Structure 1
């Protein structure tokens, strides 16, 4: 057995020591969006530091706990805080929790993030359903020897975000009078926010929003055969005025203010599974 398979098995065994329930859905919560876990009932919270081979999140706004429980009557596992390549982790470490979720039984992955808007129709606090992405990260999470038990050598990425989930989320948003956009997410390394020229470049190549996460986890989820839904909270604007400087504190504040709308969509989407 490879080292990765052994690590997945060890983490799975440890987590199942707290609950033998097979989660139907996995949730990854981005910057400032950890409040969604309050909607999870019968919660069991496990610090990342206690789980074998899990990294520890180092970023403000990422709580660093794995949550087991139920949402809308569906068993779920949620990451309150994620890992980023810019923190110094390898892509295998960044995406390791997705592997563990799949091993626990997860069939659908819901991902959220805070992102910078590049579409002129966007405002701070808007929600964007991700319909596709552009990967500008400097490392690929599937680089190296492929383990056929985890997924194919060359996974198809023509529909990384499930259209059925996108359409259902649009229905939920409309029924709750929540305006949503759909668009293309550009994944970059970070940790610097983008220059104005970089924002312009990424918009020219087809991007509507940009962030420092999500793409690696989605690639591994698709490799593992999971259905994926992802949503960005637009927390700043790359088309900003010249004197508007972005800070992480402002990103967290904008995410927190938009979180109730995202939570409602996630909650009802999970209920529909």
Structure 2
């Protein structure tokens, strides 16, 4: 057995000893979006540092704990705080929790993130359902020898985000009078926010929003055979006035303001999976 398979098994076994249910849905929460975890009932929380081989979150707005419980009656496992390549982790570490979720029994992966908007129709606080992505991160999470037990050497990425779940999410949003966009997410390394020219470039190549996460986890989710759905909260506008400076504090503020809408969509989506 490879080292990675052993590490996945060790982490999953530790979690199973603390929580006997089999989660159906895995949830990864982005910057300022961790309060969805309060919707999880009969929950237990496991700090990342207690889970074998888990990295530890270090970014403001990411709490660093695994939450297991039920949402709308379905057993779920949620990450309150994710790992980023820019923190110095390898892509293997960034995506390790997705592997563990799969080992626990998860079949559907839901992700959220804070993103910069590049579409002129977007406003701060808007929600965007990700229908596709462009990967500009410098390292690929599947680079290296492929482990057949985890997935195929060349996974198909023609539908990384489930069209069926997108349709369901749009219906939930419409029924609750929540405006949502659909668009293309550009994944970059960070940690700097983009220059004005970089925003223009990424919009020119087809991007509607840009962020520093999500893409690696989605790739590994697809490699693992999971059904994937993701949403961005537009926390700043990249195509902007010359004097509009972006700060992490403003990103968190915008994410917190939009969180109730995103939480409602995720909660209702879980109920109809």
- Corresponding residue for residue 37 of structure 2: 37
- 1-structure distance, mates of 2:195, 2:243: 13
- Corresponding residue for residue 191 of structure 1: 191
User: Equivalent residue of 1:17, what SS?
Assistant: helix
- Size of the alignment, in residue pairs? 273
- Corresponding residue for residue 96 of structure 1: 96
Q: Deviations over 1:40-71 (max 9, x none)?
A: 00010000000000000110000000000000
- 2-structure distance, mates of 1:154, 1:13: 29
- Corresponding residue for residue 236 of structure 1: 236
Shift of 1:197: 0.0
User: Equivalent residue of 1:218, what SS?
Assistant: helix
1:80 is aligned to 2:77: no
RMSD over equivalenced CA pairs, Å: 0.3
- Corresponding residue for residue 227 of structure 2: 227
- Corresponding residue for residue 130 of structure 2: 130
Within 5 Å, give how 1:1-273 maps onto structure 2: 1-273=1-273
Segment drifting more, 15-24 vs 176-185: 15-24
Shift of 1:240: 1.4
4+ residue runs of structure 1 moved beyond 2 angstroms?
A: none
Shift of 1:20: 1.4
- 1-structure distance, mates of 2:237, 2:48: 32
Q: Deviations over 1:172-229 (max 9, x none)?
A: 0000000000000000000000000000000000000000000000000000000000
- 2-structure distance, mates of 1:121, 1:250: 20
Structure 2: unaligned runs, 5 residues or longer: none
- 1-structure distance, mates of 2:74, 2:52: 26
Shift of 1:137: 0.2
User: Equivalent residue of 2:129, what SS?
Assistant: strand
Structure 1: unaligned runs, 5 residues or longer: none
